[in-house]
């Protein structure tokens, strides 16, 4: 079936339906997690081009995530509701990691908390992680960089300025 356009051309109804469906779809909202830092800011810290920043969310909407790559680094940005205001959950996690033989370092800078995690030899495939997070208004904004080797880990002092930018963006 065709419709006749004002120009006198015949336009298939299927084409009209497709155009109408595309134009009436709601615009896909930008991930708040992906907006926490820019690719250029990440590149300045990692020294490599950032690619594949992909938004996702945890079941139930408890957290928004944004993951990507830069050379041999895995990147994760996270924006979540604070589930445990006491901090007990994090403390127990750190204690468990240390019991497993991981090397863990934690530093606080006002509202910013940063940590490094070097797994025991039996778990090196998990990667070497540096994370900085900010607690603000019942939410946690975080940046996590995982490296393939301990020698290529991003130091806390290099990642902390990005966490400070995150604090201003949510």
Find the CATH number of the domain harbouring 77. Answer: 3.40.1000.70
Residue 17 lies in a domain: no
Residue 28 lies in a domain: no
Highest mean pLDDT, choosing among 19-28, 31-40, 95-104: 31-40
pLDDT number for residue 8: 55
What confidence tens digit (pLDDT) does each residue in 74-95 have?
999 999 987 766 667 777 877 8
The domain total for the chain is 1
Kindly give the interhelix angle for 39-46 and 156-167, rounded to the nearest 10 degrees: 170
Residue 87 lies in a domain: yes
What confidence tens digit (pLDDT) does each residue in 5-26 have?
555 555 443 333 333 333 333 3
pTM > 0.85: yes or no = no
pLDDT number for residue 80: 92
Residue 86 lies in a domain: yes
Residue 11 lies in a domain: no
Let me know: does 120 contact 99? Beta carbons within 8 Å: no
Q: How would you classify the pairing of strands 73-81 and 63-70?
A: antiparallel
Domain ranges, residue 79 = 39-167
Q: How would you classify the pairing of strands 73-81 and 103-109?
A: unpaired
Separation of alpha carbons 143 and 76, rounded Å: 6
Let me know: does 42 contact 51? Beta carbons within 8 Å: no
pLDDT, greater one: 11 or 159: 159
Residue 1 lies in a domain: no
Residue 134 lies in a domain: yes
Residue 29 lies in a domain: no
pLDDT, greater one: 146 or 12: 146
């Amino acid at each position: 079936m065709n419709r006749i356009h004002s120009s006198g051309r015949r336009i298939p109804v299927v084409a009209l339906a497709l155009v109408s469906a595309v134009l009436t779809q709601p615009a896909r909202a930008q991930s708040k997690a992906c907006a926490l830092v820019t690719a250029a800011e990440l590149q300045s810290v990692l020294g490599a081009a950032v690619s594949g920043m992909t938004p996702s969310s945890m079941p139930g909407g408890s957290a928004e995530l944004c993951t990507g790559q830069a050379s041999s680094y895995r990147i994760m940005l996270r924006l979540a509701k604070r589930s445990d205001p006491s901090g007990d959950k994090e403390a127990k996690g750190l204690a468990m990691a240390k019991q497993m033989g991981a090397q863990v370092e934690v530093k606080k800078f006002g509202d910013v908390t940063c940590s490094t995690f070097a797994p025991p030899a039996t778990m090196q495939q998990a990667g070497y992680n540096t994370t900085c997070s900010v607690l603000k208004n019942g939410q946690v904004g975080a940046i996590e960089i995982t490296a393939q080797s301990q020698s290529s880990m991003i130091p806390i002092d290099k990642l902390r300025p990005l966490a400070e930018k995150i604090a201003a963006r949510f």
